[in-house]
Chain A
């Protein structure tokens, strides 16, 4: 089955800096890759979707890149704020209908 790797170590950054999170996957390349935010005890919330033919996608302070050669997606939050502190999950589809999620990276933004 598809395997997704996200850095299990928490990322600690200072407010105002850019946070960069990494998602690596194995096996064949997905057609779509999604990023979600999850707060403690809550369900994930969708942030961005990027297609295999898109190199980059932006939404306000968020930017996602998708490199099918490296089998990697990068998720950036610019001008980070303490309210951005959460766990961020990447997800991809394989076997057309199945979803696979990474275990997430916890982001801590310090004032």
Chain B
């Protein structure tokens, strides 16, 4: 079954404690991206990757890092989380060039930073 898998689904952490949210897709997609979703603000793109070792900033990259060492994985790293990063996070992937094709989303990770 084609899918994008995120882990964990729920995470409560304390300010400043480094964390990683994993994302994996089994569709051999080139394009992967991370979003955060906040009430009234919609989905905002954090980082995206066109292929292995190719990443770029989205609209709200501050406080986040990503890496793309393998095609299937695209982890999101928060080096020093702060309460304003409390949000619902989604990973997505799509084939070829992202804008031309549909994006497949993961089930989401609800992060709370206290």
Contacts and interface: CB of A to CB of B under 8 A. Distances in A.
Contacts, number: 70
Interface of B: 4, 31, 33, 35, 40-45, 48, 50, 56, 58-59, 90, 92, 97-108
Given A41-B108, A96-B99, A103 B90 contact: no
Interface residues on A, range: 20 to 34
B105 A44 contact: yes
A100 interface: yes
| 4 tightest A-B CB contacts, nearest first | A43-B105, A93-B99, A103-B42, A46-B102
Contacts of A98: 45, 48, 58-59
A42 interface: yes
Nearest to A6: B42
A46 B104 CA distance: 7
Interface in A78-102: 89, 91, 93, 96-102
B99 A43 contact: no
